[in-house]
Chain A
Amino acid sequence: MTAVAIASPFSFSFMVNALRAGTIVAVLAGALGWFMVLRRQTFVGHTLSLVGFPGAAGATLLGISPVVGYFAFCTGAAALVSALPTGGSARGFTEESAVVGSVQSLLLASGFLFVSLYAGNLGGLSSLLFGSFLGITARQVLALLAVALPAVVLLAALGRPLLFASVDPQVAGAAGVPVRAVSVAFPLLVLPPAAAQALTLRPAAGLLLSVGIGVGATWAGLLLAYYLPYPTGAFITTLSFAVYVIARIVRSIRHRRS
């Protein structure tokens, strides 16, 4: 094996922290997303995954910790979305999608307002909006773990009833992972679970597969972005999407055989 001219990615603390944070996000998103995809709540999931933007922007404007702003917006949005009429009828769904859409654009609009009020400097906007895995500190990894661990435990405790009953708004709220990687939160929430459910409908195997695909895509994406000059988010989404497409092809071949 030839010696690599570039230093090993694991020798840099920013890469190690990025891999740690990415793994936590991928595990949480893979598990939460499996229920979200099963319940066909993709739209709600997408809306809640955007909460990080106004939360972080508002906190920056007020000069408080982004985690506080995140939780304020997260609980607010989850409460709004869960308070809407959840009738099983087609009409109830009609209303639901309109409410979710309105909440989502209001969230993003307030994020934009906070950013433009903040000294009118829009330079940091795209990093706030799309986030980045680079520059995550060890403390932020710990904070992320502190949020993710209870969420996974709660999910495990609720797992069986959740399969049959309605989703708990708090669990749904945890979907918007408070990491500075908003652009990957939603893809990781929908793509690995969708791929897993195309392959197996058994809950335990599906959950494991979903988490595995998410972690694998995150690791591969981070390492690819280390060596190639393109953003991490593009690699992670493209890899997960490729797995999803392959899973759909495998499923249709299986269907044809049986």
Chain B
Amino acid sequence: MFAQPFMRTAFLAGTPIAMACGLVGYFAVLRAQVFTGDALSHVAFTGSLAALAVGIDLRFGLYSVTVAVAIAMGLLARRGRADDVVIGSVFAWVLGLGVLFLSLYTTGRSGVSGTSGNAGVSVLFGSIFGLSARDAVVASLLGLAVALALIAMARPLLFATVDGAVAAASGVPVRALGVAFLALVGLVAAETTQVVGALLLLGLLAAPAAAAQRLTVRPYGGLALSAGLAVGATWAGLIESYLIPSMPPSFAIIATAVALYGGVSALAWFRRGVTSNEHGSVTLGRAGSSTR
């Protein structure tokens, strides 16, 4: 399997990106900002297609637009967290713009409609087997950088997430951390678009993190577990997709990640049912209960 160069590049790019996704996703779930990730994934789609429609490199549009919108969301939010309806309204419009750019791009070069249609598909659903070796190196370095940046700010960010008011009172720059965190979410969204696509990255962001939060209440253990589960789901997905060629890798990765989460939830539910019939405190694996 590893004799194939496309499998090696897929593992090389997929591993650090999945790790960054798991780390950032842990905080996204903890801060209840998964919807922001959803919005940013659509921004990633529109940014890529805007770059294609204008005729510049796809990745330029992908990274610059996604990170810029992420930072803008962080700055516009009054208390560090934007209102869901505002996010929804803005990204409903972004969705429409994406459709516009897709049509501009596909009608602009009707002669090669086959290839331009595929570009849209690979933005939406990823193309990890189609990455070049150079792309893979760049992607994995960026993934590592995001992971390191998140680990560096993990401690104050956790403080700010669990109790913003106390954190602010003791001198933690809560607002700046929120904006920096959203910038990281934007970077991860842009990165992950290359692996599983703009439409599916939400699964890699949310499912491993939520599974980790069910399994352990310790924040650092959960953070590591979330990254581990995301990497595991990516590896398993790549191998599944290699063994079953008709199964696209992005589907295999997302299905594995969501199945992991489903399995962990079912296990927790089952254990709870066995050990006690009380419906009082169902805080099994809910992070935060220990950090209080």
B89: chain A residues within 8 A (beta carbon): 190-191, 194, 241, 244
B 92-118 to A, binary, CB cutoff 8 A, 1 in contact else 0? 110111011011101100000010011
Option from B106, B254, B286 in Cβ contact (under 8 Å) with A95: B286
Is A241 touching B93 in the complex (CB atoms < 8 A)?
yes
Please tell me if A126 contacts chain B, counting CB pairs below 8 Å.
Answer: yes
Q: Majority SS of interface residues in chain A?
A: helix
Alpha-carbon distance between A187 and B29 when the two chains are bound, in angstroms: 25
Please tell me if B80 contacts chain A, counting CB pairs below 8 Å.
Answer: no
A123: chain B residues within 8 A (beta carbon): 114, 117
* A42-B87, A129-B124, A236-B96 known; A102-B288 Cβ under 8 A: no
Alpha-carbon distance between A42 and B82 when the two chains are bound, in angstroms: 13
Alpha-carbon distance between A45 and B205 when the two chains are bound, in angstroms: 19
Please tell me if A46 contacts chain B, counting CB pairs below 8 Å.
Answer: yes
Is B92 touching A94 in the complex (CB atoms < 8 A)?
no
Is B34 touching A105 in the complex (CB atoms < 8 A)?
no
B 225-253 to A, binary, CB cutoff 8 A, 1 in contact else 0? 00000000000000000000011101100
Is A85 touching B199 in the complex (CB atoms < 8 A)?
no
* Residue among B89, B96, B246, B251 facing the most chain A CB atoms (10 A cut-off): B96
Option from A101, A116, A130, A240 in Cβ contact (under 8 Å) with B206: A101
Alpha-carbon distance between A101 and B28 when the two chains are bound, in angstroms: 11
B-to-A contact residues, CB < 8 Å? 29-30, 32-35, 37-38, 84-85, 87-90, 92-93, 95-97, 99-100, 102-104, 106-107, 114, 117-118, 120-121, 124-125, 197, 199-207, 209-210, 213, 246-248, 250-251, 254-255, 257-258, 261, 282-283, 286, 288-289
Inter-chain pairs besides A43-B84, A129-B124, A233-B96, 4 sampled, C-beta below 8 Å: A97-B32, A98-B29, A112-B251, A187-B93
24 contacts between A and B (CB under 8 A): A43-B38, A43-B88, A46-B38, A94-B30, A94-B213, A95-B286, A97-B206, A98-B29, A98-B210, A101-B34, A101-B202, A101-B205, A104-B38, A105-B199, A105-B206, A108-B199, A112-B251, A113-B251, A130-B99, A191-B93, A230-B104, A231-B103, A234-B96, A234-B99
